[in-house]
Structure 1
Amino acid sequence: MVDKLANLLLTIRRLSIFRVFQRTLVILMPIAIIGAYFQLMRNAVFSPDSFIYNILNFDETMPDDIWYAGAFISSGMVRATFGLFGLYAAYFSARYTARLYKKDSTSAGMTAVIVIMFCAYANNLGDTTGNRSPFSASILKVNAMLLALLIGYVVGQIFHWLGKDHELIEFEHTSRIRKRAWDALLPASVSIFGGLILGVSIYELQIRIMSSDTFKTLVAQVENSNNLFKIILLLIVVMFLSWIGIGYPLNALSNSAVNTAAMANLNYALKHGSAWDVPHKFLGSSLVYPYAWMGGASVGLALIVIILLVRENKQNENIAKINLLPVVFNSNWGFMVGMPIILNPVLFLPFIIIPVVNVLLASAAIALHIIAPCVYPVLRGTPGILISFFGSNGNWVNLVFSILLFILDIVMLIPIGSLGQRIEKGLREREQKNE
């Protein structure tokens, strides 16, 4: 059974679309890691409602000039990395697709940039949110990575079918570059024409592609529901979207949702000095963020711990080490991209199943009065394992439960790690035979 599963996953990994997507994510790893560290600084240090800012009392101890400079630099770098991540993803996705078929990868990459920028422009027309940029940020952000990868892949395929073969050489003469440009004219024109059709369709139909507003209803249903069955179903949808590269719903989830049920829980806890008997014990906002995702600790940090303990792959070990600090403080994109977890068929089931198991166990513990519901707001950048501790106003049983839950997540991931190693070995062997 395990061998059949390994062969199936190996076959999936060999598909051109998965090969292109994974190579694109790997090449973008440095940008994602840099963005993750600046995101950590912005969310946990240079923000008045952040964890480190309040723990170290930076409001009193940090000079204003340093704070403003840090906030400016960190916010700017997050926008330059994660805010334009779709641009980089579309470029490299088109490049790797074209290169796979020995076509002009540079021209394909630049064409993909034109297509996604026009789509971002069309998506922004008619926007009433007051966005001063001519381009829609929602399409270009890291949260909309899937769209960028698909645009790049389709453009690369157009170059595959309509472009002429291209051989990389160390130095190109002007005449050869001119011929190369003429050869790229047809596939580039067809790609841009297709992009024009997509962009005009977006504008005429007023489609908001990958807009965070599109997922507000989904997030609200997860946070406001007190129905455990509904929460589990919606959680599966949210985790699946995150796995394919649509991160808006997961990033928007928190345990400090402002809704009637959450306010009723908080008011009850403040009035009675305890959260044990709040009226909405199984509220989605009190379950998903503290236990299902743990700010990234449920899957991301657990996988990092396994990699650092096993130490079988030096490259994976280096990726885990450099992403350890950001993931601890809930900045996960560097690891999600660099590993990569996104669109990795080996990690599909654990990425979805582990959060569901966590929610079910946490619900059972709440029903049995083992742990208290998390009803108190938590500071941004609070380490994942500590979220339930602060969310329950310092209940030590909640902290112990979160630690045990995290250990269980590691145990559940261990066989997946072994399977992943077998598949990686099989891929290397096949690539060596092809060479």
Structure 2
Amino acid sequence: MIKNYSLNLLQTYRRLTLVLQKIYPLVLIDAYLRLIQCNFLLPNGFLNTISHLGRPNDWWVQNFNHAVQLYEILILFFMGYLLTEYFNKHSQFLLGFCTILILALVCFNSGRDPHNGILAPPLFVIVLISWIVARLFSKLPGKVLPIITSLVSGSLLNQINLNTLFMKLPGISTSSHHFNWWVILPLTVIRNGASWLGMIDPFMAAKQAINSPAATANLATALSQKTLNHVPHPLNSHTIYSSYAFLGGIGCTLGLLIALYLLHQDRLVLENLIPSTFGFNAPLLFALPLYANPILLIPYLLSPLASMLIGGLFIQLHWAQPAVYQIFSGTPSFLINFLGTNGNWGSLIATVLAIGASTIIYYPFIKYEVSHENQNVD
């Protein structure tokens, strides 16, 4: 019985892998659209500012944002449809339609936030819905009953989605002045583990914002004293977690990208170099794939921890200054600390070392993954 369960789980994972890789080109296009959105269609966009393009037209910005959001929803619908087919080789169009119907109801925002009419479901929910539809709905008689069941199921899941039980898995609190390594490190592991399971929106970009009391106090001190040497809270969630745990996106995947380059995965590196540099690593997570991949779980959890510890050590020993200043939207992740400290070279060195540590952590696991994939191809 255990052997059959393990075999079914392995088959499910392989089918998920095939679907993730199949929709990878669509996700790659989305990453470039997100890059344009953050860099050119925001007044404080990084590339918009350095190229002096001026303030973008509000009409274009609003419609572009809606178009990107709709595009991402359609990608997820397509993923659910493909998964339903993969989970049930004898599935008919009706089952795929039921999956899309449920997902459409799950995504619908019934008015809590009038500015956001769509709530994208996480990958875990899409996989779960597709599996249930493929395995259970196929046993329902007729065509009307599966559709009615889909309407009821989608409405119930919509309420769960609105209550953010799936959408906001553990975040890092920014409300405290005091920084505790014994809290921040486990929470980082939990959050990255939730991302690995597909419980966090894959298109969600890491945003740098100074909104915690400690970060705000640091900024006020830096502006009044014209120095970063005497800020009251050098270690806080912004200077450690936001600044060092997202080098290349969630999971510190700039190191992963370098490891792929060292292993001569040139095409994958070339396709993901620009979006990953700016922190949009969803295509890379789909292409490998990293989601639910047991081989890549350990480096995905350890890499941000190593990066945060290196940054914290440099700040604690006064080899680097803490990032205090607000940076431009869409700033390349390896420049976050350098620009956030107004050009402190110690912060840039700490960032380079953190990326190097991530590369060392990822390398043996990626090497095994690449060699294992080549054996399967042969």
Q: Give TM-score scaled by structure 1 length.
A: 0.76
Counterpart residue number, 1:150: 128
Paired letter, 1:107: L
Name 1:378's counterpart in structure 2. 327
Tell me, in whole angstroms, the C-alpha distance in 1 between the residues paired with 2:207 and 2:240. Answer: 9
Quick one: which of 41, 48, 66 aligns to 1:53? 48
Aligned-pair CA distance for 1:348: 0.9
Partner residue in 2 for 1:310: 263
Mapped to 2, the partners of 1:42 and 1:72 lie a distance apart of 10
**Residue 186 of structure 1: aligned partner:** 141
Q: Which residue of 2 aligns with 1:274?
A: 227
Q: Provide the alpha-carbon RMSD of the alignment.
A: 3.1
- Asked if structure 2 preserves the Cα contact closer than 8 Å seen for 1:254 and 1:285, the reply is no
Map Cα deviations across residues 302-352 of structure 1 (whole Å, 9 max, x no partner): 2222222322xxxx5323211211111122222222222222222111111
Query: Aligned partners of 1:12 and 1:421: how far apart in 2?
Result: 23
21, 25, 28: which one aligns with 1:33: 28
**Compared CA separation, residues 393 and 23, structure 1 to 2 (3 A):** same
Distance 1:295 1:42, change over 3 A: same
**Residue 186 (structure 1) shift:** 2.8
SS in 2 for 1:220: coil
The structure with the largest alpha-carbon Rg is: 1
Deviations 1:74-122 (A, max 9, x none): 43542232243332221111111112xxx1254332221112223334x
AA in 1 matched with 2:238: S
The superposition leaves residues 267-311 of structure 1 with CA deviations (integer Å, 9 ceiling, x where unpaired) of 111122222332222211221122111242863222222222322
Distance 1:223 1:190, change over 3 A: farther
Greater helix share, 1 or 2?
Answer: 1
Partners in 1 of 2:350 and 2:312 — Cα distance?
Answer: 12
- Superposed, 1:117-136 pairs within 5 Å as 117-121=104-108, 124-125=109-110, 127-131=111-115, 133=117
Distance in 2 (alpha carbons) for counterparts of 1:45 and 1:191: 45
Q: Which residue of 2 aligns with 1:417?
A: 366
1:396 aligns with 2:351: no
Task: Report the Cα distance in structure 1 between the residues aligned to 2:30 and 2:156, rounded to whole angstroms.
Answer: 32
> 2-side partners of 1:249 and 1:417: how far apart?
21
8 Å contact kept, 2:84–2:131: yes
Aligned to 2:3: none
Which deviations, in whole Å up to 9, do the C-alpha atoms of 1:223-272 show, x marking residues without a partner? Answer: 86621221111111221122222335994754423132211111111122
Letter in 2 for 1:239: N
Task: Report the secondary structure of 1:294's partner residue.
Answer: coil
* Cα separation, 1, equivalents of 2:222 and 2:61: 34
User: Where in structure 1 are there 5+ consecutive unaligned residues?
Assistant: 1-10, 163-184, 430-435
Matching residue of 2:246: 293
Deviation at 1:128, TM superposition (A): 2.4
Task: Report the TM-score when normalising by structure 2.
Answer: 0.87
Residue matched to 2:74: 84
- The separation in 2 between residues aligned to 1:265 and 1:335, in whole angstroms, is 35
- 1:221 shift after superposition: 4.5
Contact 1:378 1:391 in 2 (8 A): yes
Cα distance in 1 between the residues matched to 2:203 and 2:65: 21
> Identical aligned pairs, as a percentage?
23
Secondary structure at the aligned position of 2:136 is classed as helix
Bigger drift between 76-85 and 361-370 goes to 76-85
State the Cα distance separating 1:410 from its structure 2 match: 1.1
81, 94, 116: which one aligns with 2:84 = 94
Compared with structure 1, are the counterparts of its residues 372 and 285 closer, same or farther at alpha carbon in structure 2 (3 Å cutoff)? Answer: same
Aligned residue in 2 for 1:229:
182
For the structure 1 residues 351 and 395, does the alpha-carbon distance in structure 2 shift closer, same or farther, using more than 3 Å as the test?
A: same
